[in-house]
Amino acid sequence: MGEQQLVQGADNVMAAFPVVLISTAVLLIALTLAVLPLAALVMRRRLRSQRRRSQAREAGLESLLADSRERERLLSMILDTIDVGIVALDATGRRLLTNSWQSELEASAAPEGCPSPVPEAELLLAGHAQAAPLPVDRRPIRRAAAGESFADYLVCFGGPLGGRVVSTGARPLTDGHGGPGGAVVLFNEVTGLMEALAAKDDVVSTVSHEFRTPLTSIIGNLDLALSDSEELSGAAVRRIEVAQRNAERLLALVSDLLMSANTAVHVHPRRTDLAGLVEASLGSAHAHAQSSQVVLSMDVPEPLWAHVDPLRISQALDNLVSNAIKYSPGGGTVRVSASTEGGRVRLQVQDDGMGMTVADAERVFTRFYRSPAVREGSIPGAGLGLSITKAIVERHGGTISCSTRPGRGSTFTLELPAQAGPPAP
């Protein structure tokens, strides 16, 4: 009986099991059906929220895009209204921007029949006051693309005759990591300014030339009067000597004015021993140095060969040595030294004089410039000697620089093309 009851109970349980499973499934289905609307509601709300955020982002992007377009339009309008040419380059040298003024300038320098836009290599460009075309690698945009930074680089658009003189400059750009990011090149027409300067130089040249003849006559007659000084009193001789010195100073000033007005400094280089030129310059300055209590010193190897115009370089040396003595009111030493390196000759004129500030040193080669300290010290001069010296040195393909400190003297350094000495016997 017990076994039969157990079997019967198991049968009853097994018979009820499907019913339980079905009930559980029904319950799960009911729960799922109850949750689905809630899940759909949550999903719809989430989708609506995402749609609103997406619409807000799109509206923000559209607003930024509209602002960017407006700024671009405003920038383009500004760039097209200014009377300065602008070219922007990327890191590879490709043009990113050219304003309308620059496009018009380039069109004016285009050869006949050349398509627009004009390739830079086809433009008719020349260096200022030079008849030869400007080499492609020396053209402003090519220089900027090569990474050069420059200012006040004069270029003649349209050729040297009847062209437009333009002052150009370039500044490099950097990317977000500090690397090269391109360049901006500026073009500013200065044709009118250069014509005005040329007219001024013509006036200075004409007036100075007219001064030379009477001054030469005055000095000659004063020399004749001094040669017959036995018939003159001591006071009269002294007055004539004063007149002679001032007439000579005035003649030197007129010569400097003539030299500065002549923009084309003509040089005739040949194989020259610079040591002899330095020695002659110091010899000529000996009396001036002695009266100013200045000691002259020379450290130049002999011979020191260079390919220069001896007359012009002597003039440059005389200017530098004379200035060194003149601006050493407390005495001291003026040293002239020289060396040869890498096919160049380096000449240095150093003094222990009053020196200059950095601002003065940057302008010291400008015509007629004299520092406030020099003017306050009543030191005579017209501010032409160093500008003439710079023109002479640059005409030789050389460079001149100034290193100075107030109260510590100045050092002027010239670098000139060297030439090999004579062959060994």
Q: Is the dihedral angle over the CA atoms 298, 303, 307, 308 positive or is it negative? A: positive
- Is residue 84 predicted with pLDDT exceeding 60? yes
Q: What is the DSSP string of 162-179?
A: S-EEEEEEEEEEE-TTSS
CA distance 402 to 412: 5
pLDDT tens by residue, 10-23: 555 455 556 556 67
Confidence of residue 423 (pLDDT cuts 50, 70, 90): very low
Q: For residue 101, which of 152, 153, 166, 172 has the smallest C-alpha distance?
A: 166
Give the count of beta carbons closer than 10 Å to the beta carbon of residue 219. Answer: 16
**pLDDT tens for each residue of 226-266:** 877 677 777 888 888 778 777 776 777 676 666 666 556 67
Which is higher by pLDDT, 251 or 171?
171
| pLDDT for the residue numbered 350 | 92
Q: Which residues pair with 338 in a beta bridge?
A: 347
Q: Can you tell me the distance from the alpha carbon of 110 to that of 113, in angstroms, rounded to the nearest whole number?
A: 8
User: What are the structure tokens assigned to 314, written together?
Assistant: 């002597």
Beta bridge partners, 179, equal none
pLDDT at 213 over 80: no
Residue-wise DSSP of 271-332: EEEHHHHHHHHHHHTHHHHHHTTEEEEEE--SS-EEEE-HHHHHHHHHHHHHHHHHT-TT-E
CB atoms within 10 A of CB 376: 8
Mean pLDDT: which of 31-40, 215-224, 232-241, 338-347 is highest? 338-347
Q: What residues pair up with 154 in beta bridges, in sequence order?
A: 167
User: Does residue 78 carry a pLDDT above 80?
Assistant: no
The pLDDT tens digits of the residues spanning 172-191 come to: 988 777 777 889 999 999 88
pLDDT value at residue 378:
60
pLDDT at 420: 46
For residue 381, is pLDDT > 90?
no
For residue 99, is pLDDT > 80? Answer: yes
Query: Integer distance in angstroms from the first to the last C-alpha of the chain?
Result: 147
Confidence (pLDDT) at 335: 93
Here the tokens at position 75 are 């920038």
Closest to 393 in 3D by CA, of 262, 261, 267? 267
Around Cβ 394, how many Cβ atoms within 10 Å? 13
Which residues are bridge partners to 9 per DSSP? none
What value does the mean pLDDT of the chain take? 79
User: Which two structure tokens, joined as six digits, stand for 291?
Assistant: 């009266």
Q: What are the backbone angles phi and psi of residue 171, rounded to the nearest 5°?
A: -130, 130
| pLDDT, tens only, 278-322 | 998 888 888 888 888 899 999 998 888 988 988 889 888 988 998
Q: Is the pLDDT of residue 424 over 50?
A: no
Can you name the residues that pair with 169 across neighbouring β-strands? Answer: 186
Helices (H) and strands (E) in the chain, counts: 11, 13
State the helix-helix crossing angle for 385-395 and 310-326, rounded to 10 degrees: 150
- Our CA angle for 304, 388, 397, nearest 5°, is 50
Nearest CA-CA partner of 337 in 295, 296, 374, 380: 296
129 pLDDT higher than 70:
no
Confidence of residue 336 (pLDDT cuts 50, 70, 90): very high
